[in-house]
Amino acid sequence: MQAPQQQVDIAARAKAIIKPRQPLREKCLRPGDAEEAAEQAIANAEQALQQLSVNFDDWMADEARQLADARDAAKAADFEQEALTELFQVAHNLKGQATTLGYPFADEICASLCRLIDKMPDPSRLPAVLVDQHVDAVRALVKEGAKGNDNPKASVLAKRLRDVTNDFLQQVSTTNGPAA
Amino acid sequence: MAKIAFDELRFVVADDNAHMRRIVRTLLRAFGCREIYEAEDGASGLEAVEAYSPDILITDITMPIFDGIELTRMIRNPEGCRHPFLPIIILSAYSEKKHVIAARDAGATEFLCKPVSATALYRRIQNVIANPRDFIRTKTYFGPDRRRYVNPNYSGVERRTGDGSEHIIDPNQVHIEA
């Protein structure tokens, strides 16, 4: 890939503060009330998201299925690095979108699972039972349609998993840790 | 501040998750954007940037082949990419400080944590357009000025004056003022 010569010239200099011309300002800023336009655009977007939300339960079920598949693969591989990375990435993806899809407690549970995987010094000693509990909790929330911020069972479940995970990681960091 | 004509803007959205790409595309279209290209990994994100010359890139961090941080570094390489000044909004489920700093040090323009909201995405785009920052090039960094504001009480060494530093006015790499 060949960059234009003038860009290479810029890169060749030792140290610089560069003032780009502001092409986006020239290209797309128009006279008008910025706040009024922003409010209208945001309202349009929220309405569009609301219309899209008819798909969210199916998407969430799909994501929960992928999480379970990744968990099964990771366990079958004895939490070998590549399979564990895949499980982390699926859980992390779900953490990023579960709230948007209407399941904020699934977001919290996936955050706890990511933390468990990320902070475990020796992945081969990951407690399979605790991994299962996270994955199965997400699947249960989806199956039960436990949406929103005010589901007491989902709230208790997410908090319990977070506490158990924190306790486990604390033990691992202060002692040789419990057996997997 | 003026209003934004989204129908004049071209976006690339890079995210390995199809549902998230659909959500971001839905938000952008509702803002008024008509040209949105998608990529499902870092490599196809870079290809899309080269192929479509977008006005703004929105990218996830965790992606196959290479991630959003590496993608940002590749774009912020004037010798390797034709669009080193491209505004880059990182949209990630990572919210820890170390990831925000990694994105900043790679040259990201804005960082937005998932879950994404219409308001947060709009405000980041608005900021990118209405408040563009100077670019800084040192031996170890090329990207938007990482100083978001001027501290009037700063009393340390001013490292950006003297010592061979220069100010470059760079309108699409045409005028260069040493």
ipTM of the complex: 0.85
Share of chain B above pLDDT 90, in %: 71
**Average pLDDT, whole number, for chain B?**
87
pLDDT at A177: 54
Confidence (pLDDT) at A152: 94
Q: Which residues pair with B113 in a beta bridge?
A: B92
What digits encode the pLDDT tens for the residues B124-142?
999 999 998 889 988 889 9
Q: How many CB atoms lie within 10 A of CB A13?
A: 15
Residue A98 pLDDT grade (very low, low, confident, very high; cuts 50, 70, 90): very high
Cis peptide before B115 (omega within 30 of 0): yes
| Torsional sign, CA A121, A126, A130, A136 | positive
Closest by Cβ to B173, choosing from A7, A35, A46 = A7
For residues A130 and B105, give the distance between their C-alpha atoms in angstroms, rounded to a whole number.
Answer: 36
Q: What are the residue ranges spanned by the domains of chain A?
A: 56-174
Domain contains B90: yes
Q: Residue A178's pLDDT is what? A: 55
Of A7-16, B69-78, B163-172, minimum mean pLDDT range: B163-172
Structural domain contains residue B99: yes
In CATH, what number is assigned to the domain containing residue B102?
3.40.50.2300
Give pTM, 2 decimals.
Answer: 0.86
Would B23 be classed as within a structural domain?
Answer: yes
Is A10's CB within 8 Å of B6's CB? no
Inform me whether the pLDDT recorded for A11 exceeds 60. no
Q: Which residues of B touch A22 (CB under 8 A)?
A: 132
> B90 with B68: CB under 8 angstroms?
yes
Q: At what angle do helices A56-76 and A128-144 cross, to 10 degrees?
A: 160
Name the CATH superfamily housing domain A56-174: HPT domain (1.20.120.160)
Residue B14 within a domain? yes
Q: Which domain holds residue B78?
A: 7-134
pLDDT category of residue B91 using cuts at 50, 70 and 90: very high
Lowest mean pLDDT: which of A154-168, B50-64, B123-137, B164-178?
Answer: B164-178
* Tally of domains in chain B: 1
Contact A27 B16 (CB under 8 A): no
Cβ within 8 Å of residue A33, ≥6 positions away: B3
Task: Dump pLDDT digits (tens) for B140-162.
Answer: 899 998 876 666 676 666 555 54
Per-residue pLDDT band for B163 (boundaries 50, 70, 90) equals very low
The share of chain A scoring above pLDDT 70, in percent, equals 89
Share above pLDDT 70 across residues of chain B, in percent, rounded to a whole number: 83
Residues on chain B touching A39 (C-beta within 8 angstroms): none
Q: Do A1 and B160 touch (CB under 8 A)?
A: no
Q: To probe the interface with B, which of A24, A39, A89, A110 has the most B CB atoms within 10 Å?
A: A24
